[in-house]
Amino acid sequence: MHVRTADVEHIPDELRPLFWDCDFENLQWPTDRDFITARVLASGEWDAVQWLRRTAGDAAIGEWLKRRKGGGLSPHQLRFWELILHIPRRTANAWIAESNRSPWTGRMAK
């Protein structure tokens, strides 16, 4: 069953452990969806991921990943979403290469 995002306001209490460092009671899907998506994709257990897929839908998750060029997820996580969402391998490879690049690359004095 797909949950219409218009019907979701607060996130389920079962996801509370993912948001240990913020005011969980005030998190709302409409206004905090990017933050919630990032946290669930990066740290969520299978039930949390399934909730996100029902709530946002796979197309929206794919768009979120594309806008953020992998969203800071690990290579392992990106390979999972590559398979699930049919993300082109070349795209996933580029995201992984970017995530493996050191922020200091090109900043060393010559």
User: pLDDT above 90 covers what percent of the chain?
Assistant: 75
Residue recorded with tokens 């399934």: 50
Q: Note the pLDDT tens digit of each residue in 42-65.
A: 999 999 999 999 999 999 999 999
What pLDDT does 110 receive? 55
Residues in the chain: 110
Lookup: tokens for 58 = 């796979």
Q: Which of the four pLDDT bands, split at 50, 70 and 90, describes residue 99?
A: confident
Q: pLDDT grade, residue 108 (50/70/90)? A: low
Sequence-distant (6+) residues with CB within 8 A of 9 are 28, 29, 30
**16 pLDDT exceeds 80?**
yes
The pTM of the full predicted model, rounded to 2 decimals, is: 0.81
What is the pLDDT at residue 104? 61
Residue 10 to residues 18, 56, 84: CA-CA distances in angstroms? Answer: 14, 13, 26
